[in-house]
Chains A and B, each alone.
Chain A
Amino acid sequence: MNVIAIQVHLKRNSFAYLAALPMALTVFVAYMGTMFWSVRLSFSSSRMLPKDDFVGFAQYERLFNTSRWISSLENLLLIAFLFLAICFVLGFLLSVFIDQKIKAESFFRTVFLFPYAMSFIVTGLVWQWIFNPQLGVQKTVQALGWESFKFDWIVDPDMVLYTVVIAAVWQGAGLVMALLLAGLRGIDDDLWKATKIDGIPAWRVYISIILPMLRPMIITTVVLLSISIIKMYDVVVAMTGGGPGVASEVPAKFIMDNLFERANIGIATAASTVMLSTILCLIAPFIYSNYIKKQGR
């Protein structure tokens, strides 16, 4: 594009650019600006008040010597893996099930998507009550007569993470279903006819043909789910408060606690910078393959 072409382009689209300007400014000043300021603060000795000095990687050193931070990261890894895997498998199965042209389809669709309409705080509270040994499932089953029944995962440091995963999956699987179902509906009927003539079993069609065709949907799903994992805070606060002990701590909670309760800006910004770079590392390949590479083609 030469200079004149650019000028023509700008002139023709001036109102579009003008309309985009406020949001663009917000993004650059409010989002990017504060992001850079956070990164800057992570290299200072700030505690309660932001400071201007420079202490190198001292905060990062302290951060990675903090056992709670390390266990938060480990917890997040486990949650991320299970949450993604279960959500995806469950969501895919649900969408395939609904795609079978069943009766009362819209009813099931609503039911499965409904949890997603609920905030994580509500989800967390509901599941906390369900898992609570003195109120929920355990108590109910015991009252029905099976007195030795035990289901106390939420107070067990070794199992508590799985309760968080269950609650998160309950909420997220519906979204995966909705997105994949939209993809499935976009698949041409002729394809199904063709595979029928060839005598390929339906499960094989789904796995070898349909799934690869759903690639853009799957990427969207993975990105959306990953973001909700990194942000995971409210469900943990509502369900377990990070406990028992530090068994269900997550990085976002570590950051919030340090930023507010402990007046420790340095560590909090160092931790959020670590999370930011993790996200960038994870997302960069997707962005590259989906946007940048395409333009080159």
Chain B
Amino acid sequence: MIKIIFFCTVIALVTSPLMAKEEAEVMHWWTSGGESAAIKVLADAYEAEGGSWKDSAVAGGSNARSAAINRMIGGSPTTAALFNTSQQYHEMIAEGMLNNLDSIAIANQWDEILPKPTLDAIKVDGHFYAAPINIHMPTWFWYSKKAFRKAGIVKEPQSIDELFVVLDKLKASGVIPLALGGQKWQENLLFMAILSNVGGKQLYLDVLNKRDANTLNSPAFNKVVEMFLKLKPYVDTGSPGRNWNDTTSLVINDKAGIQVMGDWAKGEFTQARKRPNRDYGCFAGLGSDSLYIVGGDVFVFPKTDNKEQILAQEKLVETMLNPLTQIRFNRLKGSIPVRTDIDVSSMGRCAQLGSRILKDESRQVPDGSMLMESYRYGSLKDAITEVWNSRDMSTQKAVKILAQALQG
């Protein structure tokens, strides 16, 4: 079957008319205001280098990825396609459907300048198969300075116990202590924040990567689940189904104390003309050695024998990882540059904090989607939402449900 598809691909490529000069068709899902501004930076940079950018935006991450895969199987792949820094594209690598980027990667010393979790996600059997463009940290803590002041909280919590003290004070002051949008992925972020902050690096990796019975039955993991469930009373009843940005605006309007959300939430604060450190604060985790979960986006480059297209692909990689483009792009996207060797002093306060933490390799951990297959990660999210939303959920039962999803 695959051979037939591949054969058709080749036929289609041979017979398709030669493309215009270094025209790059790029498939992505960045359609919201801030996102499309960010992708335009990449498009402009590419055109400034003499290429011609053809934008193929499909709304919704999974829709865009399916469309890219369908185009590949159908024999007319795009020049590049956006994916998350994860295992989403590993099956395509195994089937030999992607071009490898070894020559550019080695020439630009990716081994030295990229953080290890990102490197692990794009490097398979010693070859580079994707061009990472940013790093998203999905579990920042955002809080309202005004709500903190009103509740008499003077400093950011440094441990899980301090977090509960803070939440209690917020509750007493009459605001929503923890703003959570009750959608599967947001509940997942909250769980990951607790897993990394309470469990620590070893447990985080063991739970998501090794998934062995010993780890999942350990008292340490039990404590993580217990703390996660303990957060529930601090969430308001309007939570289920609420969008993440509506939830962020609760913090923006000082109606809620804390939200755990990715670094993209910064854009919401900026749009509402709130200033960091004065109106809102951000911290990446509990304590000065908290972990930094490394997520992000990559472009993959479907296999082709068309010389023009290969040139276009190479030029795309070069421009996307150019230091200046990296800064401009990430400032709009809310993420931080994927290269650890560039000066980020022109970026926002939270981004600078993030870049500083990222430099410490011992604090980096990969996002869950890099550690397991999409279907398994999906079942884990189902389990987390089930555990979070069930009444009378005991820690023991929750551990069992989560373990079943992780091992199934």
* Chain A residues close to B by CB (< 8 Å): 47-52, 62, 65-68, 128, 132-134, 152, 154-155, 157-158, 240-247, 257-258, 260-264, 267
Contacts and interface: CB of A to CB of B under 8 A. Distances in A.
B389 A247 contact: yes
Given A48-B69, A260-B62, A261-B378, A243 B385 contact: yes
Contacts of B1: 50-52
B237 A262 contact: no
A241 B2 CA distance: 35
Contacts of A261: 62, 374, 378
Interface stretch (B74-82, B207-215, B238-246): B238-246
Contacts of B390: 157, 245
Nearest to A246: B386
A107 to B, nearest CB: 36
Given A262-B378, A263-B91, A157 B182 contact: no
Contacts of B388: 245
B408 to A, nearest CB: 7
A257 B378 contact: yes
B27 to A, nearest CB: 15
B183 A243 contact: yes
Contacts of A241: 183-184, 241
A262 B238 contact: no
B52 interface: no
A154 B81 CA distance: 38
A258 B183 contact: no
B160 interface: no
A52 B379 CA distance: 25
Interface in B350-408: 373-375, 377-379, 382, 385-386, 388-391, 401, 408
A103 to B, nearest CB: 43
B237 A152 contact: yes
B385 A245 contact: yes
Nearest to B63: A260
27 contacts: A47-B375, A48-B88, A51-B2, A65-B408, A66-B379, A66-B408, A67-B386, A68-B379, A132-B238, A133-B237, A154-B241, A155-B239, A155-B240, A158-B391, A243-B183, A243-B184, A244-B240, A244-B241, A245-B386, A246-B385, A247-B389, A258-B378, A260-B63, A260-B66, A261-B378, A263-B88, A263-B375
- If over half of B's interface residues share one DSSP class (helix, strand or loop), that class is named, otherwise mixed; here it is helix
A128 B243 CA distance: 13
B4 to A, nearest CB: 10
Interface residues of B, number: 35
B305 interface: no
A66 B383 CA distance: 10
B95 interface: yes
B2 A243 contact: no
A141 B408 CA distance: 47
Contacts of A242: 184
Contacts of A243: 182-184, 240-241, 385, 389
B13 interface: no
B249 to A, nearest CB: 13
Contacts of B374: 47-48, 261-264
A258 B374 CA distance: 9
B310 interface: no
B92 interface: yes
B227 interface: no
Interface in B116-141: none
Contact of B391 (A50, A51, A157, A264): A157
Contacts of B183: 241, 243
